[in-house]
Amino acid sequence: PGIYVCAKCGHELFSSRAKYEHSSPWPAFTETIHQDSVAKREERPGALKVSCGKCGNGLGHEFLNDGPKRGQSRF
């Protein structure tokens, strides 16, 4: 339980309350902790490249409409 932060700068990214089990080997979250926690840019349809909103450290992807509920994203 707690807050997941950027490994490079310590910026708050996700809360454990938004974490859920997914088939991928990586932690999966439904939302960021703050609106400015991450920066996003489209990489391909349905997937956004995600980086730390403060320092730009690469964090992975946001997969649109792939969350645990209809219409939710998966980080």
Task: Kindly report, residue by residue over 42-71, the tens digit of the pLDDT.
Answer: 999 999 999 999 999 999 999 999 999 999
Q: Work out the number of other CB atoms within 10 angstroms of the CB of residue 33.
A: 19
User: Looking at residue 26, what is its pLDDT?
Assistant: 87
What is the average pLDDT value for the chain, to the nearest integer?
95
**Intra-chain end-to-end CA distance of the chain, in Å:** 17
- The pLDDT of residue 1 is 87
Q: Where are the domains of the chain?
A: 3-63
In this structure, the strands spanning 47-52 and 38-44 are antiparallel
Of all residues in the chain, the percent with pLDDT exceeding 70 is 100
CATH code assigned to 3-63: 2.170.150.20
pLDDT at 19: 95
